Every structure is written in C-alpha cells, then in structure tokens.
Structure 1
Amino acid sequence: MAKSATISPSVSNIQSATWRDYYEITKPRVVALLVLTALVGMCLATPSIVPWQLLIPAMLGIGMLSSAAAAINHIVDQRIDSEMGRTHNRPLPNGRISQTGAVVFAAGLALIGFAMLYGLVNPLTAWLTLAGLVGYGFVYTMYLKRATPQNITIGGLAGAIPPLLGWTAMTNEVHPYALLLVLLIFTWTPPHFWALAIHRRNDYAKVNIPMLPVTHGIEFTKTQILLYTVLLFVVGLLPYLVGMSGWLYLIGAVALNLGFFVYAWKLKFNPEQGTAMATFKYSIVHLMVLFIVLLLDHYLIPVA
C-alpha cells in the first residue's frame, strides 16, 4: 500500500509541477556532456569554423532527442526510483509530474528534435540520433538494465554516439575518425558507471537491478574498473597514432588516462570510504576535459 502511494501521486502534487521539474527529468548535466562531445565531433569533421546554419539546429536537435531519452529513462524507472535513496525525490516518484505529462513531454521533445535534424541538418543524423534514443530509452532502460550485469557495457553504445552525430551533421557520412571518438566514450563508460554502482550497490540490490557489484561483488567490479582504465589508456592513444590529433591531445590524453588509472588503482588496492564516488566524479571531468583538449588540438596544432 505504501509503495502504491509513492508512485501514485496526488493531484495537488502533480499540479505543482514547474518547468524546473521537467528540466530535471531531462538529466541536463548528462545531456550537456553529450552535446559537448557532439560539438567536438562537428568541429573535428571540418578544418574551418562550423557554420551556424548547421551548428544551431544540430545542437538543438541532438540535445532534444537526448533529453527525450533521459525523460523516458525517468518514466520507465519510476517504480525503482521510488525505492532507491538516490532517486526517490525525482519529479516522477515524488509526484511533481504525472506519468502522462512526462510521456507527452518526452514525445514532444523527440518529435521536434527529429524534425529539426531531418529538415535542417540531414536525414542520416536524424535517424542515428533517433537510434540512440531507442538504444538508451528502450533497449537499455527497459531490457538490458534489468537483464544482465553487462547492461552498461552493451547499452553504453547509445551514450557513446554523440560525436558520430556531430560528425554526420557536418559531412552526412560515417567516417572512421568519428567511430574512433565513439570508441573512446564506449571504453570510458563501464569504469565511469561501475564506480557509481559500487557506491550505490545496496540501492541496486534492493530493487533487484543486476548491476555488476550486485551480481559479481564489489572486488570483482573494482578489478574490471582497473582493467578498463588500462584499455582506455590504449584506446586514448589511437587518435594520435592514426594522425587524427597532434601532440597537445597526446599529452592531455596520457595525463588524464593516467589520472583515471590512479583512481582505479586506489579504488582496488587502497580504498577509503569515498573513493568510489571520487572515481566517478573524476571520470566525468576526465571525459569533459579530454574532448576539450581534442577541440583545442584541432584548432591550435597542425597535424602533419
């Protein structure tokens, strides 16, 4: 009975929804990072300045569809969010937004974003971005998240495609360099998310979500994080080795990936109470700065 009251909000609570509540279910900080990586993909696809006629609709369209995917995640996870300490106060389980309102909001964002990309950018980018929404909002959230401890490894591809979307927005083609950027984020995602999953293991166990720390234990997950940071270090060298980026990127990538490895090493062999969360927070800074360095390298350092 108590659970039903939690996920069946009162009318008065629903009517108190504000634009901030709808903004919150778009996961704005996550979407901002995705849009940044898409922007870098756009910039790396051309030697000159990105024309605003493509920049504005591409960023808005990618941002809207990414926000719609995040809202779908909130809708699908409403029940488990209501039972987890980290998420029980979100707008849907807390009752500030109705499920119907969230569905209409997500559908509106998706339709407008898709139409903008299709009409003002190109159909390839529109369909690829929609595929990312389906991958995260439905394949990962509705199935993989509840089906396998490798959920984030497989489902991470949906969150890794924004650089490809930025690239196709400029060129209308899938280029190997764009796929290399996707590979960077795809390799980064498991150690990034598993660090958070360690910190929130009990929450995931309570709602029967088979995250790796729940199914295989925290020590095994720490080992996987460490191994993935080694793999990420190797993948991070590829843009320089294939001639995509120059020495500025190389220095930045080595420093950032070494930092990630140090955090993972401490998490595995010398953890303190907040080490897992500190590793998670560093991983966010790591990806953001890595793509900013890619951008600076592109415009400041000529590649031979």
Structure 2
Amino acid sequence: MYVTRTEATANPQSFIEKTLQTIKVYTAVTKPRIMILLLFTAYCAMIVAQKGFPDIYITIFTLVGLALSSGGSAAINMWYDRDIDAVMQRTAKRPLPAGMADPRKVLWFGIVLEAVSFFLLAFAVNWLTAVFSLAGFVYYVFIYTMWLKRTTPQNIVIGGGAGAFPPLVGWAAVTGSVGLIAIVMFIVVFLWTPPHFWALALYKNEDYTRAGIPMMPVVRGPRVTKRQSVIYAALLLLASISVYFTHDAGPIYLVTAGLLGIAFLIYNIMNYRERDDSFVWAKRTFRFSVMYLPALFVLMVFSMGH
C-alpha cells in the first residue's frame, strides 16, 4: 500500500485512491463506532461535572486525546487478535485478517496514538485526565485483550472496566478530581457491559466456539449466561437510580431512569425465558442495550439539578 514519490507524480489519481484507501484502513483499526460511544460518555460526564457546557478548549483537547487513546488501544487489540479474527465470521473482514494492512505497522500505529494521547492530555488538560485515559488503554490492551479474553469466561465481566474509564476522563478534565457521580457512571458502564455483550455472544456463539474464545455462552452455556445477564441488569437498574440519591438529580431522573432500567431488565428476563436454541430476544436485547446506555447518559445530562 506504500506509494513512492515517482508513482505519485506519474499517476496522481492512483496515488489519491491508494491514500484514501490507507486512511480508510487505519480508521477501521481504531474501531470508530466504539470510539464514538466512549467519547459520548466522556462528554456527558464533562457536562455533568461543569453543570453546563465545559470550556471549548478543554473539550476539544480532552475528546481528541481520548479518541487517540481509544483508537490506539483498538489498533493494538486488532493486531493481537488478528489470528482469532480470521476464523470468526463477524470479524474476518477486518483489515488485518483481510490482509489490507501490515500487522507491525498497525501495532506501531496504536503505540504512537497512545503516546501522543498521553502527552496531549497531560500538558493541554491535566495529569489526572492523562492517567485515567492511560489506565483505560492499559486495562483494554493488557488486562482484557492479552490476559482475560482467551483465559476466562469472566473476560467481559472484568474487562468491562476498560470501557468504563471515559466518564472518569471527562470528569477529571473539568474538575481535576474524581466525583461521586463519575464513579457511579463508571459502575453503570461496568455493569451494562456483560448483558450487552453476552446478548451478542449468545447468537454469535458459533464464532467464539470456532475461535476457541471462552465466552460465557461457550463455557457455561446459554442458561447460565442468561441468568447472569438478568442479575447484572438488576444491578444496573440499582446503580442507575442511585444517581438520584447524590441529590444532583431530581424526581424526573429517578422515574425516567427507573423506567429505562426496568425495560432493560424485562428484555433480559424475556431473553432468559426464551428457548436456548432461539435468539429472537437475544438480538432484541442487544439492540436495546445499544440504545440504553446513550439514553441514560443523556438523561443524566438533562436531569442534573432538576
């Protein structure tokens, strides 16, 4: 995919096409859809911490720094998991298993992104923000990707902490400290991750079995997975409404967050009641979970102080 200066001069159209393709490939290895959710939860935490829109300078540098860190960890995840991605139908078309990028270049790309992220956040925002962002990177790359994912069915449970760091990043960027609500936001994302991901794993079970990944449905079966999903959904409901008891959110939040959490719990209960060879409710639960988390964080933003 490398183009020499002579080739670029001789065929500028081909050079542009290859450059755009390279950009597309390296954008894909940063998992932009996941990144958007992480940035969204961080920004919501910034607004809640500020009790209004934070300074534009802090906002830009925080979100850019977090995006670089998230993209870097995703790139290294794709580099490390390229062997199992190649045998899973859901991931076989990713850039590395599809042969569209050099693994070593993707690895260095991820390392450079994180290095730039850390120094950008440290010097343009504050050191606590940089440390939280780095902690999320280390958690996702080393604890989840390289250790837990291939060794234990609790990989998603423990590994859920990686995606829970952005609210701490956003809060620290505005306040330079850690607040109680930021910790609750962390817990919410942590508890949301198992029922969200296990719903997907239930109907993608063949993929994980073929790749030898000990996801909960593979190791413990759908019954245990569904039962634990119900438990996590119930705990998530309690964690989400606990924001009300910090006295920063009013009755509207309590009622709305409660209804939202009850709905998610019902989806998981219906999934539990469904036959293990049917995945209608697993797919519905996964789709609802994708909507649930952004909706809850938006609710937090609009309910603070009301």
Q: Does 1:30 align with 2:51?
A: no
Give 2:100's aligned residue.
96
Unaligned runs of at least 5 residues, structure 1: 1-13
DSSP-derived class of the 1:147 partner: coil
Q: Does 1:150 align with 2:154?
A: yes
Q: Does 1:197 align with 2:201?
A: yes
Q: Does 1:242 align with 2:246?
A: yes
Deviation at residue 74 of structure 1 after TM alignment: 0.7
Q: Does 1:285 align with 2:291?
A: yes
- State the alpha-carbon separation in 2 of the partners of residues 127 and 167 from structure 1: 13
Give 1:267's aligned residue.
271
Q: Any conservation in 1 of the 2:69–2:117 contact (CA below 8 Å)?
A: yes
Give 1:70's aligned residue.
74
- The CA deviation string for residues 164-205 of structure 1, in whole angstroms up to 9 with x for no partner, is 110001111122221111011111111111111111111111
Give 1:10's aligned residue.
none
- State the alpha-carbon separation in 1 of the partners of residues 58 and 164 from structure 2: 21
Q: Which amino acid aligns with 2:84?
A: I
Deviation at residue 49 of structure 1 after TM alignment: 2.6
Q: CA RMSD in A?
A: 1.6
- The CA deviation string for residues 218-262 of structure 1, in whole angstroms up to 9 with x for no partner, is 111011111111111111110012213222322321121122112
Q: Any conservation in 2 of the 1:15–1:96 contact (CA below 8 Å)?
A: no
Give 2:64's aligned residue.
60
- State the alpha-carbon separation in 2 of the partners of residues 274 and 149 from structure 1: 23
Q: 2:113 aligns with which of 105, 109, 112?
A: 109
- State the alpha-carbon separation in 2 of the partners of residues 186 and 164 from structure 1: 12
DSSP-derived class of the 1:173 partner: coil
Give 1:6's aligned residue.
none
- State the alpha-carbon separation in 1 of the partners of residues 256 and 65 from structure 2: 30
DSSP-derived class of the 1:174 partner: coil
Give 2:236's aligned residue.
232
Give 1:213's aligned residue.
217
Q: Which amino acid aligns with 1:131?
A: A
Q: Does 1:127 align with 2:131?
A: yes
After superposition, where does 1:11-26 map in structure 2 within 5 Å? 17-26=21-30
Deviation at residue 17 of structure 1 after TM alignment: 4.6
Q: Any conservation in 2 of the 1:264–1:279 contact (CA below 8 Å)?
A: yes
- The CA deviation string for residues 19-77 of structure 1, in whole angstroms up to 9 with x for no partner, is 11111111111111111110011111123430111110001101110111111111110
Q: 2:177 aligns with which of 159, 173, 177?
A: 173
- State the alpha-carbon separation in 2 of the partners of residues 119 and 145 from structure 1: 33
Deviation at residue 163 of structure 1 after TM alignment: 0.5
DSSP-derived class of the 2:97 partner: helix
Q: Does 1:294 align with 2:300?
A: yes
- The CA deviation string for residues 118-141 of structure 1, in whole angstroms up to 9 with x for no partner, is 110001110111111010012100
Paired residues in the alignment total: 287
DSSP-derived class of the 1:95 partner: coil
- State the alpha-carbon separation in 2 of the partners of residues 152 and 20 from structure 1: 28
Give 1:185's aligned residue.
189
Identical columns (%): 39
DSSP-derived class of the 2:149 partner: helix
Q: Any conservation in 2 of the 1:42–1:167 contact (CA below 8 Å)?
A: yes
- State the alpha-carbon separation in 2 of the partners of residues 53 and 237 from structure 1: 32
DSSP-derived class of the 2:53 partner: coil
